[in-house]
Amino acid sequence: MVGMDCRMLGLDTRKSRSRPRWPLRHFSNRRAKTVNLERSALPQPTVSCQNPSTILGMLGIGMHRLIIVGAGLLSIVATASAASAADLAARPYSKAPPVVAPTYNWSGFYIGLNGGSGSSQNCWDLTGIGLIGGPVAPVTPAVPEGCHNATGGLVGGQIGYRWQASSWVFGLEAQGDWASLKGYNFSLASATGVFGVGVTNQTKIDAIGLFTGQIGYAWNNVLWYVKGGAALTNNNWSGITTATGITRAQATEARWGGAVGTGLEFGFAPRWSVAVEYDHLFMGSGSFSFTSVTAPIFVTRTDSIKQDVDMGTVRVNYTFGGPIVAKY
């Protein structure tokens, strides 16, 4: 405040040109007498705005009072700051939302294609010999003619429905495949001369069908399952003259049996999955009459044929439904 203009503080150091009056009342005479005092007669103080104490004195404030006031202001500010900080509620802790993991859903109708290979074991036993124009003479006991494996490829499709409960998956499926399984062996019975010539027995399977139920366990988009149900094979059996390769007699049959299998399926994209599967078909045994294919037409023989089928396929399925669901 050194060098401060006194006028900034509202102080006027000029001498007043007017002569103020101070009324002095004398109550002893019950009469007021006004005494005019000349200001010039009074000693005039010299005001210096260069001295801070002088200014503070003119303001009526002592240095010690200024210190006390300043300390009070600081205390008020500190208290207000503390109160404001206390009034600010601590930010509540909020737990991060749980991560939503996408989970593959195996439920829904599906359709797909499959392809692979198969092998069918067929064992023949001669049970009767046909005579031209006569009855079939039974062969007792049956004479084994040997076994052979009919192998080849197959391709087809499947359609089904699955529903999922937690990690367990249940389903029903129908599968049909065009097959080209073929195999043959030389008949051991013909070595006895019963046929008069050497005969080769041949098996062809041109179609396979499966009608199964499924139960599986899923690890997200990986499903392992087992299946079981009914199986159907369409067979064509032939007796061929070994020396010439000419078919002598034939028999056909659509045979029903049982099937069990297992597979591992992987969901590689929304609604799309690929699987590898193995199935074993228990087709059992059946007796058939072979009819000659050239004149004269007659039953040349009867046989009992036991059949089993093993097949492995790669499958691609498309599921109609939402394959991805949110799971917490």
Residues 6+ apart with CB under 8 A from 324: 102, 103, 104, 105, 270
> How far is it, in rounded angstroms, from Cα 251 to Cα 261?
29
Strand partners for 16:
none
Higher per-residue confidence, 29 vs 67: 67
What is the model's pTM? Answer: 0.68
Q: Determine the 3-state secondary structure of 191 from DSSP.
A: helix
Closest residue by Cα to residue 308 from 208, 176, 189, 174? 208
According to DSSP H, which parts of 178-270 are helical?
none
> How far is it, in rounded angstroms, from Cα 240 to Cα 242?
6
How many C-beta atoms lie closer than 10 Å to residue 15's C-beta? 8
State the distance between the two ends of the chain, measured CA to CA, in whole angstroms: 72
Q: What is the pLDDT of residues 190-235, one digit of tens each?
A: 888 888 899 999 999 999 999 999 999 999 999 999 999 999 999 9
| Residue type at 76 in one-letter notation | I
> What element of type H or E holds 87?
helix 63-87
Q: Per DSSP, which regions of 191-221 are E strands?
A: 199-219
Cis ω before 296 (30° cut-off from 0): yes
309 within 8 A of 281, measured Cβ to Cβ: yes
> How far is it, in rounded angstroms, from Cα 78 to Cα 74?
6
> How far is it, in rounded angstroms, from Cα 306 to Cα 128?
16
* Per-residue pLDDT at 296: 82
pLDDT-derived band at 52 (thresholds 50, 70, 90) equals low
Residues 6+ apart with CB under 8 A from 310: 118, 119, 120, 278, 279, 280, 281
**Mean pLDDT of all residues in 170-184:** 98
**Token couple for 299:** 């039953």
How many C-beta atoms lie closer than 10 Å to residue 170's C-beta? 16
187 within 8 A of 194, measured Cβ to Cβ: no
123 within 8 A of 150, measured Cβ to Cβ: no
3-state secondary structure labels for all residues of 165-179: ECCEEEEEEEEEEEE
Residue whose structure tokens are 């009342």: 25
* Per-residue pLDDT at 53: 52
Higher per-residue confidence, 125 vs 322: 125
> How far is it, in rounded angstroms, from Cα 117 to Cα 199?
28
**Mean pLDDT of all residues in 157-177:** 97
Higher per-residue confidence, 285 vs 81: 285
* Per-residue pLDDT at 297: 83
